[in-house]
Structures are given as structure tokens and as C-alpha cells.
Amino acid sequence: MRATLLQIDVDPSETVADRRTRVAEMVRGQRGADLVVLPELWPVGAFAAESFAAGAEPVAGGPTATAMAAAARAAGVWLHAGSIVERADTLDGAELYNTSLLFAPDGALHAAYRKIHRFGFDEGEAALMAAGADIVTARLPQTVLGLATCYDLRFPEQFRLLLDAGAQTLVVPAGWPARRRAHWRLLVQARAVESQSFVLACGTAGTHAGVRQAGHSLVVDPWGEVLAEGGDGEEAVSVTLDPGRVAAVRAEFPVLRDRRLGLPRPALR
Ligand SMILES: NC(=O)CCC(=O)C(=O)O
């Protein structure tokens, strides 16, 4: 399976519309890949909280979803289009979500995942967006994807649920700051080792809202080995994966068999 992570430079001097056109063109250039992955909130920037409301768009028929569906179809690839600020209209008004979109090679929306853990400690995303509540997996011909986004990496319980739902390849779009790059590497590798799964973790490059981005997108195999890693700037990180490696590692080193589910909660002393 050929996978390419497009580590996009979210440059505030570029308009969202121009970036959308540019990224769609990059996706179109990926014909021959099986799966293409984009980062978190690349249209507006994961830390550009002041732009979230203005940049919010519906999933069905919104400008990013429409452009990405067309690009996936033109390239004939599965496209994990990173995430957008989703505007979901409810009877009580509009709610915003940080929503990842997965398109099939015919351009149909195959899955959507609303980020469960919002970053910001009562500010930014945590204050402005609603939390998703659904664990999302998606079956591709080669593997089963488990969807998570950026800050979710810090919550291993979500990854256990993805594993139990059948995930074999964890896809994690991110807008991770350079300041915590050491955490990024450690957490991506930890999620791969504990889940005995591939992890495709695609970050952004550049600086937006005064936050320098970590770049260094990672592809890690089910043994925890880094198969590919981006640098600091915009680039395409491509790898060829053997999806059979997940079953092989799980059979050869069967730690998941030794899980002790249902242990009692400790009593307070
Ligand atoms: N966009 C994010 O979720 C940022 C997460 C982050 O900076 C961290 O966990 O550290």
C-alpha cells in the first residue's frame, strides 16, 4: 500500500481559498498512491482560533469537502483530507466541530470523524468547538483505518477503543507545535507499539497565529519503527507499507492477548 502524507505549510499570508486550490492540485498530483493524508485544520490553521467561526463550513457541499472530493476522484486515491472547522446547524443555532473527512477514490465521502479531545484548556478550540463522541473506523481494501486527531494522541483509552473496533492503521492529522515535538514523536511511536498498528501522523509546517509548527510528519510501523519522517517545511512524505505486517507482528509478539479487561477500579484508601 502506497501512502503519502502531505505536510502543508499553513501560511497566514496565503488566503484560505488559494491554499485550498493549491492543496487540491497537490492531491491531484498523487495518482498512483493508495492513500493520501492531509493535516489537521489546514485551511485555517489549528491555532488560528479567531478564524474558526469565519472559516467554518458544512461537510455536505462545503468548499473544502467539494474540492477534496473532486481531487480524490481526479487522482483515484483514498483521501484522508485532514480536518476542517465543521459548521453543523442545529435547532439551537450552529455548532462547530473539528471534523476529519475521508473520501473514497470515486470522490464519495466514506467517513467523518469529529475530534473527541479538544485542545486549549478552556481556550481556543476547547472553548469554541463542540466535542465529538464517536469512535470512527473505516474499511479500505488494504487495511482498516482508525481515525483520531492531534491532541487525541494523549488519550490512549481512545486508541484502545479503535483497536477493539478493528483498526490496523491509525491516521492522525495534526497541527502540533514545534515546542512539543519531543512529545509528538514519543506519543506517535507509543500509540503504534501499544496498538501494534501502523500510525500515519501528518502535521503542518510553517508558523500561524504565532505558533511554529512541528512538521516532522511520521509513519511508524506496528513494531514502533519510524519508516518515514518529514522535515520542518512543506513536503510530501511517501512510503510503501505492507498491511500484512500488522497481523504478523500481532501473531509473533502477541501482547494484545494478555490484556486484562474488566479489572476492578481501585478502592479509595
Ligand atoms: N491541535 C492540537 O490538538 C494541539 C495539541 C497539542 O499541542 C499538544 O497536545 O501538545
Q: What is the pLDDT of residues 111-158, one digit of tens each?
A: 999 999 999 999 999 999 999 999 999 999 999 999 999 999 999 999
Residue nearest to atom 10 of ligand 1 (CA): 180
- The pLDDT > 70 percentage for the chain reads 100
**pLDDT, tens digit, for every residue of 58-102?**
999 999 999 999 999 999 999 999 999 999 988 888 899 999 999
- The pLDDT > 90 percentage for the chain reads 96
Q: What is the pLDDT of residue 219?
A: 98
Instruction: For residue 238, report the distance from its CA to the centre of ligand 1, in Å.
Output: 24
Q: Judge whether residue 238 has pLDDT over 90.
A: yes
Q: What is the pLDDT of residue 209?
A: 97
Catalytically annotated residue among 86, 115, 125, 234: 115
Assess whether 14 carries a catalytic annotation. no
pTM over 0.90: yes
CB-ligand 1 contact for 45 (6 Å cutoff): no
Give the mean model confidence (pLDDT) for residues 43-50. 98
Assess whether 115 carries a catalytic annotation. yes
Instruction: For residue 128, report the distance from its CA to the centre of ligand 1, in Å.
Output: 15
Q: What is the 3-state secondary structure (H, E, C) of the chain?
A: CEEEEEECECCCCCCHHHHHHHHHHHHHCCECECEEECCCCCCCCCCCHHHHHHHCECCCCCHHHHHHHHHHHHHCCEEEEEEEEEEEEECCEEEEEEEEEEECCCCCEEEEEECCCCCCCCCCHHHHCCCCCCCCEEECCCCEEEECCHHHHHCHHHHHHHHHCCCCEEEEECCCEHHHHHHHHHHHHHHHHHHCCEEEEECCECEECCEEECCCCEEECCCCCEEEECCCCCEEEEEECCCHHHHHHHHHCCHHHHCCCCCCCCCCC
CB-ligand 1 contact for 119 (6 Å cutoff): yes
Q: Which fold has domain 2-255?
A: Nitrilase/N-carbamoyl-D-aminoacid amidohydrolase (3.60.110)
Domain assignments of the chain as residue spans, ordered by start: 2-255
Assess whether 125 carries a catalytic annotation. no
Give the number of the atom of ligand 1 that is nearest the alpha carbon of residue 46.
Answer: 1
